[in-house]
A and B are shown apart, each in its own frame.
Chain A
């Protein structure tokens, strides 16, 4: 009899304050989701196979559409041995038809993503479904991760990794304190088996306005650190150095071709320019302006930029293509520029914690100006030179210095002053209507957002409807005229738009008095955060500063009877102040609202809501005018 030695090395259990989930009131949930990842090393070659089991239950017939299921895969994986069936109290029916489909549409133009689609038969109230399959992982760099939670609640989830003794596994757990979990490490003669088991896991669904769900979702990332073959230790992803060595080998596969045109464009662009800043800015703007972003996801090709000459000729590319052409052009004119890997803000990982490709999903270029890196992301066609794309702020950038050396630098978060908007308005009363001329001058990300919105999100709306929906000035019944939205191209550091407004029946004239609220625009007034709605925090795209200078001309024959006092609530993360001043026949309202943080975590909701309530209260103050006797 084979003797298997089982040693429990570690056993731990967190008991947490996780609310108990009543699975019986869920329309649909997972009874069990488990993955068993088995890594084998055979003559120096990896065989990696993941066995997946998903067992779900329909408590009601409300969500039968979940019967329509699919398994995603790409060129790094292969799916086999699929078994799927539905069980009811008196039957078991197998899925008899699987269809493989290419993925298409959305923001990616061409992708190697495919799916196997199928439908669980005869699902109805109380039915359970079972799905089993094996996923072959072809490249040892892509072990991936296991998520304990998914879009519906999960009663039990487990993740097991079995590695041979000559392979060293690295792993990092995230947010496990949020669930009841056990961990177990067993040693057998040949392998080590790691098992995580969790129970009663809530649902996790991505939401555009929330922080990255990965900041909350319990999950584990695993990677192969090293393996021993023929008594030699071979690294895979032991640390960032290994990751970079692999990336660097991929970059070296860029097919060189005739760069004459690329170089001549670069030369032409900088020929009259002296400073490095001017040169870098001009080349960056050229790529922003001339190379269209088209996304490709194509196996390892998804990691190797296309050569600069073909990108230049085709005038399109994905992020890595744009990063590479910038790299080529900048270096050609004598600037120090580097290929740079980065994850966007929805990947809350550090290279040091998990040295794997899961950390990043994007590529940019770093150019050194006066010894300091400037991060250039030309996929954002409008971001000003010197500012990183807003979705890369705070993230680690992996800068490739040469074949072997790299540096990790955090992309700075741009201060609120960089994105300042000044809103100047002159208001007066015409009969019962409030008329105004308003000018908005935007900078930084405020400017970028406006241009994107006006260009791509305005759709077919008229300018009037667009502005009404965007700024909600004086409630949504505002007539706009003389609208000047400009060219919608960025040529300066700031961008100005202007328009005239008329808001009917805005002032209340009663007896000899006029009641008037000079807060015609009330940003953030609908921003109370409800924990049941915003379950995963609130994401702020960028820090900003809005300054309103509103001047009201007091109608002839009226005096000011009541003027609200100054109100302010100035905090580190956010704040506002509203000041009313009268000078001769004018009342000027100075309003400042700022955001100095990129995240509001759930624990901070109460504090934030209190802040918003003080803001709403401040918005409620009207002025009172009285006719002179």
Chain B
């Protein structure tokens, strides 16, 4: 959620220095910079990424102005590198004035091409991002340096953030924070380095210089975007303001919006005549909350748009359309009318941003959840695919501010209440056609927790190819000539009112690709029936700590009818035991084993991830557990004639 809370503060008089951005300029004669051989192998690198944020209070009016200067120099080494930097978008949100857009390239031979200002184009009202000025860099070739410099004057906001890590390496990252005597704070994340106080033109500023920031590395089971180096800052006129005051102010704002004193007549009637119609008084709280959520999600449209009317509760109740912020107001009306105690949680997607409870930063207020404390379950208002549940994977594990109806708030990590919430149980019976041409797999599956919720949503909301792909997943992906003979679903409606009812899939498939001929014998690719498994690679050292979607478990029971007159061999590849254990506690494991019961081979697998966060030191063991599944996926056994 991009909703920001703007808070006004008392302004106090300030001192007077010349504005730094006015004198800041690029080198009159640019020269190509030296780069190392390693840097030359990258598609592009930033030689310099500099941003100067300057707050300045007018002595006459007392108004505070904000200037942001961006100065970047990129070396582009190949066509991909040129493509990374040759299209420039300057967001104009909050921008009052844009001054001096300058851009130039210097090629390998020292030829300079300056941007023709006539080629700067304006685009307006783009999705939810506002206006932009855009231009393409002129004269860029392989080996060129692209330099861009501009300053914008923005509407005053006491808060801001700046990313310092990108999908290309940065040789020198510089950030200068100038408050011209106003009280301000700045904090840098995900690096050991700190801001230093220094003098620039006799003006005390905060400066951060970091050399050689590596590019963002994407990894599986990780939150790379939340781990990037970035800066958050605050600057306001009132020197006495504490972080606590900022939180209090926000909580006050939220409480007045989300904990209404009065219930609108329309909402009361909707509850009485529609939502609770025909329901007995003594239904469980879980069912009650679920009925409400199903109702809202079947009758209200939530859109990513910040028009004011979409936050006006009367408009919302009439038009049944709300912004992501506004819809909470509708829930609040109904919850209160239905006498359900709730809290509102403000947090962020953990894959994008790690919520800091110490340094107030409204840019982090991106997700708004409703928490029902008595049953420890969440309503996620902007997710049409979700229903009352434990916190979904994009939220789980992040910190959040919990606010209750008494306008009290507390910070807490958003955790999973039931450790066994998400579970997959699979029972398979396997037989073969007489001529050893076909394998038949009869399967019964139960998906609980997040698995169940996601499966229901996928089957209800997707169509065409996406849905076909999902059906393929439900019946075992990666089986080459699989033919689905039969598939039945149970408990598949998205609107469930019973706590954690499993989603059930019963299927029969046929495949001839699972059996390979080898002389008079047959190799049975038994591992393939568990579907394609993810694989973690070790080619380079792990960068990010491990974060899985959510704790989850799988249990398989696979029974194979050994054909008459055949002996089965090579069963040892079915036995795999891997685990990650810390201080006597198993954090995750893979156990697969088998036994013979007459002419039946019975394989059992238990794959469990009891927690969803693992430290980077445990990567090796974690990887072994994850890869055990893909190892099993390759297991094959041999049938040879007796």
Contact = CB atoms under 8 A, between A and B. Distances in A.
Interface of A: 61-65, 67-68, 93, 96-97, 99-105, 109-110, 119-125, 203, 205, 207, 289-290, 292, 294, 313-316, 381, 455-456, 459-465, 468, 475-477, 480, 488-489, 504-505, 508, 510-511, 515, 517, 522, 525-526, 528, 530, 532-535, 561-562, 564, 612-613, 616-617, 619-624
A123 B320 contact: yes
Contact of A515 (B319, B384, B638): B638
26 contacts: A61-B297, A62-B460, A63-B461, A64-B384, A109-B136, A110-B121, A110-B123, A123-B320, A124-B320, A203-B464, A289-B79, A292-B79, A313-B113, A314-B136, A316-B136, A455-B79, A460-B217, A462-B539, A462-B540, A476-B630, A505-B631, A526-B478, A528-B480, A532-B468, A533-B464, A619-B513
Nearest 10 A/B pairs, CB to CB? A61-B298, A562-B519, A121-B319, A622-B518, A122-B320, A462-B539, A314-B138, A533-B468, A620-B516, A624-B519
Given A104-B127, A508-B523, 12 more contacts: A104-B123, A109-B87, A121-B320, A205-B463, A292-B140, A475-B634, A477-B630, A508-B636, A511-B569, A515-B518, A528-B481, A613-B512
Interface stretch (B280-288, B301-309, B349-357, B600-608): B301-309
Contact of B461 (A62, A102, A617): A62
Contacts of B87: 109, 294
A522 B478 CA distance: 13
B91 to A, nearest CB: 11
Contacts of B127: 101, 104-105
Contacts of B540: 462
Contacts of B373: none
Contacts of A64: 298, 300-301, 384
Nearest to A522: B480
Contacts of A290: 141
A518 to B, nearest CB: 11
B218 A315 contact: no
B47 to A, nearest CB: 20
A315 B139 contact: yes
A205 B464 CA distance: 9
B435 interface: no
A477 B631 contact: yes
Among B79, B384, B630, chain A packs the most CB atoms within 10 A around the CB of B79
Nearest to A288: B79
A490 to B, nearest CB: 11
Contacts of B460: 62
Contacts of B141: 290, 315
Contacts of B30: none
A613 B539 contact: no
Contacts of A530: 468
A621 B494 CA distance: 45
Nearest to B532: A476
Interface in B71-100: 78-80, 82-83, 86-87
Interface in B594-634: 627, 630-631, 633-634
B299 A616 contact: no
B564 interface: no
Interface string B519-549: 1110100000000100101011000000000
Contact of A315 (B138, B215, B573): B138
A260 B321 CA distance: 60
Interface string B126-143: 110000101011111110
A122 B296 CA distance: 11
Contact of B138 (A316, A526, A532): A316
Nearest to B513: A616
B570 A68 contact: no
A101 B79 contact: no
A419 B303 CA distance: 48
A526 B539 contact: no
B277 interface: no
B155 interface: no
Contacts of A464: 537, 539
Contacts of A381: 79
B22 to A, nearest CB: 30
Interface in B36-83: 78-80, 82-83
Interface of B: 78-80, 82-83, 86-87, 113, 119, 121, 123-127, 132, 134, 136-142, 167, 215-218, 297-301, 303, 305, 307, 309, 318-321, 384, 460-461, 463-465, 468-469, 478, 480-481, 494, 512-513, 515-521, 523, 532, 535, 537, 539-540, 569-570, 573, 627, 630-631, 633-634, 636, 638, 640
A525 B126 contact: no
A598 to B, nearest CB: 21
Given A97-B309, A313-B138, A617 B512 contact: yes
A488 B309 CA distance: 53
Contact of A620 (B126, B320, B461, B515): B515
B432 to A, nearest CB: 14
Nearest to B437: A617
A533 B83 contact: no
Given A624-B519, A624-B521, A465 B539 contact: yes
A477 B298 contact: no
Nearest to A528: B481
Nearest to B533: A476
Contacts of A461: 218
A147 B415 CA distance: 50
A525 B518 contact: no
B318 A207 contact: no
Contact of A475 (B125, B465, B570, B633): B633
A613 B481 contact: yes
B518 A616 contact: no
B516 A68 contact: no
Among B87, B301, B515, chain A packs the most CB atoms within 10 A around the CB of B301
Contacts of A613: 481, 512
B79 A525 contact: no
B321 A121 contact: yes
Contacts of B167: 460
B79 to A, nearest CB: 6
A313 to B, nearest CB: 7
B23 to A, nearest CB: 31
A525 B634 contact: no
A504 to B, nearest CB: 8
B86 A316 contact: yes
A207 B297 CA distance: 29
A612 B215 CA distance: 43
B480 A526 contact: yes
B307 A97 contact: yes
B539 A459 contact: no
A12 B515 CA distance: 55
A125 B298 contact: yes
B301 A67 contact: yes
Contacts of B78: 455, 488-489
A332 to B, nearest CB: 21
Contacts of A510: 569-570, 638, 640
Nearest to A291: B141
A505 B633 CA distance: 12
Contacts of B633: 475, 477
A19 B479 CA distance: 30
B134 A110 contact: yes
Given A464-B539, A620-B516, A533 B126 contact: no
A455 B217 contact: no
A475 B527 CA distance: 11
Contact of A462 (B303, B515, B537): B537
Contact of A99 (B123, B125, B518): B125
B634 A477 contact: yes
A623 B518 CA distance: 6
Contact of A124 (B79, B299, B463): B299
A271 B132 CA distance: 45
Given A316-B138, A561-B519, A61 B537 contact: no
A313 B139 contact: yes
B215 to A, nearest CB: 8
